Structure 1
Amino acid sequence: MSNLDMLTAWNNYLDNKQIDPKVPPLVENSWRRCHGRISPTRKIIFSQLNSTNLLAAQVASFDLISLARPVLEDIYQIIQPAEVAIILINGAGYILDLIASPQMEEKLRGFGIGLGTACSEQQIGTNALGLALIERQPVAVSGAEHYCIQFHNFSAAAAPVFDINGRQMGVVGLVTFEPQYQPYSLGLVAAGAKAIESQRQADHMLADYNTQLEQLTVILETISEGIVVWNGEGNLIHYNQKVAKMLEYPLHTLLGKKTERILKFPAFLVKAYENRQPLTDVEATITVGGNTVMCFLSLRFIYKKDELEWIIAIFRPIHEVRQLVQREVGAHATYTMDDILGESNAIKQIRKLVKTASSATASILIRGEMGTGRNILASAIHNESQRRDGAYLIFPLSPIPNELILIELIGYEEGGFSKHSGSRPSKFELAQGGTLYIQDVDLLPPEAQSALLNMLEMKVFHRLGSDRPIPVDVRVIVSTSADIEKLVAERRFRADLYYRLSTFTITLPPLRKRAEDIPAYVDSRLERLSAQLGSRLSLKPGVTEVFYRYPWPGNIRELEAVLSLAAIQAGSSGVIGLEHIPDKIIHPRIIVDDNLALVEIQPLSEVERKALQETAALWRGNLTQMAQSLGISRTTLWRKIKKYEIVIDGFNPDSL
């Protein structure tokens, strides 16, 4: 059956759920299993083992990998120079080893396929590797026989590998582009699978334990985590240099021995070991020869024929994990004193306050309306301080549900918080040695206010579900646009926390109260937009004067938004004129009072029209009474009624 005919049969099955009799039975059964579970036209997102689980899978299938590797290389050499990939998967369908030509490797990488990728039928639909795993026999799947259209340009052959007891160990497969597929491919991989089985039978009698340890060393030394391996009896059989350096102990003196006298683990880890319970990245404090080491630890148990073969502990230094988290969450300050723009007296005073506050250690409260630059100021304070090389962690409260703020702030302990598994570090720990910037501090719920106050006063805190005090060295900067004194008076914000936070208070004035700073913000924004758009931007005469008159209720953020839109509208000319500025800026119809209330200013004609209509309604269309109330003559009144096209009869019920 040609690939074109198979494509027709595939389309017919998708459209009508009818199977062409020429479709191979194994493919037909696979299509039926995939139907309704996998979308044939949607791009496959491949499932991937993390490094810890991949390592456990490789260790569990170590014999298979060591036997299969030479066979994979031989198959690859035989079929060169064809563009091909030779793949080994385990019994669960995950790739353990892979050899590929450059073009095929690039294609697979583009799909997200590599070591640890799932290739089972359940994950990616009909394919030779997954089908061989299910049917326990050599299988070829070509072109449109694949259930997912994503793989229609590929062909593959695969054969299962069994141990001496008939247990399926994995599958060897050959993947190539559909036009390059050769009929002998299926026989080649079947022969390769048989070669692996024969070699395994021979090695089963000649296995050498020390050789296995040497090969294991190669694997363990290639990973960045610290690794310790015990055998089923609890004797130390291997470790890598990473963990030896981390624990600062000559572990070679413990090889072949039990280690509980030297390596002392916390009670929950001992319990997990006794119960054979795997753990992943749990915080642990380990005592090693009298020294204390804090780390994240994972525990894996490797079985062979239902008997415990190895216990693997994976150590990750806690400071490296924290640095990774800080890097991932953007824990660095980008703004400096140079980003505090303006030459008004208010801004000059703020710069002085920043320098004073930066040299101190007390908390800082930044106040100001939305868009006044509170975030820039907090970043600049951090970069001016002695903590500039430490973490700078931003904790925005507004997007977090109220009931989760405390959890995010102080974290929780493994097993001590019933709604969550594992443990979670606090924001204090993630910002250790640096600055924690809390945005919109007025949104802190009462219990989080208490936790923050305790940390500020005691320099220690407890995670949820734990009685272990954790010392912290963090400077706290908070910001708010709320009337926090009112919140204190209403007992919605703790007075003692307010006093603690406001040791240094910096208030950013709104832009309307320092209009002389507008040119500095305009120049800075135009410079950045010029760099982004690749052309020089400038303002026509009169635009700056318009900016001076507008009250800018959105402050700097609104000004930047107006300039961004104007720059786009100006196009290639790069000259921003009044025609590019919104009418509401040129003809402002709002005023902003000190309470941030926006009051719309209506045109005089609208005010006059409304006054006429309300007076007509009051006096039921009586022109004489209306003229007297408005203080104008009947003639003037009648002229204005005609001007605004007001129908007086509509207000006189006697005329209806």
Structure 2
Amino acid sequence: MMTPLLRHAWQRCLARGQAVDQPLTGQAALEAHQQQLLALARSSIEDLYQLIERPGFAVLLADASACVVELAGDPTLLELALQCGVRPLVQLEETVAGTNAVDLALREAQPLWTVGEEHYHLRLRPLALAAAPFFRAEGDPMGVIALLMAAPDAHPYALGMAIAAAQALQSQLRAEQLLAEANDQLAELYAVLEAMSEGVIFVGPNEEIRRINSHAAGLLGVSVRSVAGRPFVLVLNPPPLVYQALQEGSELVEQEVLWPVRKGVNGLVCALRPVHDYGGRYLGALVTLRPTQSLHRLVQRVVGAEARFTFRDIIGQSPVMLAALHQAHLAANGAGSILLRGEAGVGKEVLAQAIHNASARAEGPFVGLNCAAVPRPLLAGELFGVEGNPLDARHHGRPGKIELAQGGVLYLEDVDALPMELQTGLLRAIEMRRMMRSGSVRVVPIDVRIIATASSDLERHVYEGRFRADLLARLSTLEVVIPPLRERGDDLLLLVTHLLSLLGERLGRQVALAPEALHALQVYPWPGNVRELELVLERALSSSEKSVLTLDDLPPGIARGAMPLDVPPIARLEEHNRFSERDAILRAGRQASGHLGRTAALLGISRATLWRKMTRYGLARDDFWTGFVK
């Protein structure tokens, strides 16, 4: 009596009008996935046939489409199967071969019998099939393994044997799949290791080199094959700091080390991290290596060591400014050190950045150091760097500004503030193109171009013994003098228009200047130059909500300069004799409301000359405030 499953299968065939004697068809050759399945299952088929060890049985392997992939066993039975149309490459799917155990096992995902007359197709009725499916890890049927017998000789235990064989095959296939996945993951890991921009070494629990990528091998001057599996300490000779961390199982974070290699030493940034499994068992250590320069590039990005300004950002059309820019362009095309001279606030750093961006070193870093802003005891470390203790990770070294500027420009602001002892070190570094960190014996080759600035008279410093003449000569291979704002004529109007636009955009509103306010800005001597102009306009915009700024919005010292005064104009100082010089200075100082820069401009002398003459005549700034509220 037919089971419900068989009855439903027959009904499907009848509903299709399927003939019981239609030819059994198949494919011409095994496809790639079928060949792979056969390779994986061949040993299980052989094991099952040897287990039976009796005539009258054959083992059949079919794929997930019910196509016969392999048929092996008793030659007599194989001959019977061939007479029934069952052979490799034949399709046993229901629409081709009607109801049979191979197709039903795949459809129902369970082991099944079909014996003799239970087969829909006439040609299959001399046979008995005991079929059991096996599955992928995801649960999808992968194929069927079946025992094939003559219908009269159907053995009651055949289905159990087919089930056992299918389970064994499934376990084997799962193991093969896991192994393949593991191999794939290992290949992916190797690919990741090789693609990493840093050297990677995995040291096992017995200090053997388990893995090393080619980048690490290149940094250490070895080949991957020559060191893989060998003792880490013996073949790679790590620095004491790295060896100590490995021995103690402690972490090492981004330390600069000198790693001995065949041709000397390499400066590297090394990190070491112990590796443990989920149970806390020590598995080894992961060592990463990078060239020292890579850390320097990272520091440059973090500290903002880049030049943002170009010559297009510099506002100025006056003859004196155009002449300065022409000299700056020539300096950018050169290779020597550059000295930028000019008063405070004239824009020396902006011009230095523009020179850098127009030079052959534009792709390199732009690293600045204000020699006057760093406390004297720290200045050597800031300039030349500090060497760390190779035996103590807590006292690690750090590169100085010269090292960080490798391949680019070192911008030394207010170089006149550099102490004499550091001037000697800087001169030696420039001449020898190498240096040593503070506390180090390691010589570091350097490739930097220096742009230095000074607001004071360096020649006077040389005369007074406060600055080395040979260093000045080295720094001023190319020289650019930036004119003060008071000498730049109509550039002031261009700058005011530009700055008002930028500040208005930042504050979200557009502002203009009243004529009298613009006149006040034009007659003011601007001792603080462009920087002072920017600060004055920013304060005026921030403290007023008006769309047109007037004299009331400007600082009193600037606003008064545009108002008529009872004091007659001051002639240039050289027009006075020595007896009226003191009175001329007093009058100019009072007209300038005590502002020394403006006083010097009114007299046509420099600020330094004004100070000397004030000292000669016993004048102080308080003497200029007569008649004004301080």
TM-score tier by shorter-chain length is: 0.5 to 0.7
Name the amino acid aligned to 2:371: L
Q: Partner of 1:235 in structure 2?
A: 208
- SS state at 2:329 partner: helix
Q: Give the Cα–Cα distance (whole angstroms) in 2 for the partners of residues 538 and 502 of structure 1.
A: 42
Equivalent position to 1:371, from 340, 345, 354: 345
Equivalent position to 2:607, from 574, 592, 595: 595
Q: Partner of 2:286 in structure 1?
A: 312
Matches within 5 A, 1:395-544: 395-415=369-389, 421-544=395-518
Q: Is the 8 A contact 1:262 1:288 kept in 2?
A: no
Q: Give the Cα–Cα distance (whole angstroms) in 1 for the partners of residues 188 and 455 of structure 2.
A: 59
Name the amino acid aligned to 1:579: D
Q: Give the Cα–Cα distance (whole angstroms) in 1 for the partners of residues 624 and 402 of structure 2.
A: 51
Q: Partner of 1:70 in structure 2?
A: none
Equivalent position to 1:565, from 507, 530, 539: 539
Matches within 5 A, 1:99-498: 226-239=199-212, 243=216, 251=224, 254-260=227-233, 262-266=235-239, 269-270=242-243, 279-286=252-259, 294-301=267-274, 309-415=283-389, 421-498=395-472
Q: Give the Cα–Cα distance (whole angstroms) in 2 for the partners of residues 270 and 215 of structure 1.
A: 30
> Cα–Cα, structure 1 residues 215 and 344, in superposed 2: closer, same or farther, change >3 Å?
closer
Q: Give the Cα–Cα distance (whole angstroms) in 2 for the partners of residues 217 and 387 of structure 1.
A: 38
- SS state at 2:367 partner: strand
How big is each residue's C-alpha offset from its partner over 1:284-328, in whole Å with a ceiling of 9 and x where there is no partner? 344668797542012345689999752332223333222211111
- SS state at 2:467 partner: coil
Q: Normalising by structure 1, report the TM-score.
A: 0.54
Q: How many residues align?
A: 396
> Cα–Cα, structure 1 residues 248 and 347, in superposed 2: closer, same or farther, change >3 Å?
same
Q: Give the Cα–Cα distance (whole angstroms) in 1 for the partners of residues 369 and 440 of structure 2.
A: 23
Percent identity, aligned pairs only, is 33
The alignment status of 1:583 with 2:590, answered yes or no, reads no
Q: Give the Cα–Cα distance (whole angstroms) in 2 for the partners of residues 473 and 319 of structure 1.
A: 12
Q: Give the Cα–Cα distance (whole angstroms) in 2 for the partners of residues 547 and 306 of structure 1.
A: 73
Query: RMSD across aligned C-alpha pairs, in angstroms?
Result: 3.7
Q: Partner of 2:61 in structure 1?
A: none
Q: Give the Cα–Cα distance (whole angstroms) in 1 for the partners of residues 233 and 220 of structure 2.
A: 14
Deviation at 1:269, TM superposition (A): 4.3
- SS state at 1:437 partner: strand
Q: Give the Cα–Cα distance (whole angstroms) in 2 for the partners of residues 311 and 462 of structure 1.
A: 32
Deviation at 1:218, TM superposition (A): 10
The alignment status of 1:554 with 2:492, answered yes or no, reads no
Name the amino acid aligned to 1:345: P
How big is each residue's C-alpha offset from its partner over 1:154-179, in whole Å with a ceiling of 9 and x where there is no partner? xxxxxxxxxxxxxxxxxxxxxxxxxx
> Cα–Cα, structure 1 residues 311 and 346, in superposed 2: closer, same or farther, change >3 Å?
same
Q: Is the 8 A contact 1:247 1:288 kept in 2?
A: yes
Q: Give the Cα–Cα distance (whole angstroms) in 2 for the partners of residues 412 and 343 of structure 1.
A: 45
Q: Is the 8 A contact 1:346 1:509 kept in 2?
A: yes
> Cα–Cα, structure 1 residues 491 and 289, in superposed 2: closer, same or farther, change >3 Å?
closer
> Cα–Cα, structure 1 residues 302 and 495, in superposed 2: closer, same or farther, change >3 Å?
same
Matches within 5 A, 1:69-88: none
Q: Give the Cα–Cα distance (whole angstroms) in 1 for the partners of residues 378 and 394 of structure 2.
A: 12
Deviation at 1:471, TM superposition (A): 0.7
Q: Give the Cα–Cα distance (whole angstroms) in 2 for the partners of residues 505 and 380 of structure 1.
A: 15
Larger deviation: 274-283 or 314-323? 274-283
Deviation at 1:540, TM superposition (A): 2.1
* Unmatched segments (≥5 aa) in structure 1: 1-209, 608-656
How big is each residue's C-alpha offset from its partner over 1:232-284, in whole Å with a ceiling of 9 and x where there is no partner? 32211234676467668653664432245653434654566567675432223
Q: Is the 8 A contact 2:213 2:224 kept in 1?
A: no
Q: Give the Cα–Cα distance (whole angstroms) in 2 for the partners of residues 264 and 416 of structure 1.
A: 14
Q: Give the Cα–Cα distance (whole angstroms) in 2 for the partners of residues 457 and 537 of structure 1.
A: 52
Deviation at 1:411, TM superposition (A): 0.9
> Which structure has the bigger radius of gyration?
2
Q: Is the 8 A contact 1:220 1:227 kept in 2?
A: no
Q: Give the Cα–Cα distance (whole angstroms) in 1 for the partners of residues 553 and 237 of structure 2.
A: 71
Q: Give the Cα–Cα distance (whole angstroms) in 1 for the partners of residues 599 and 256 of structure 2.
A: 53
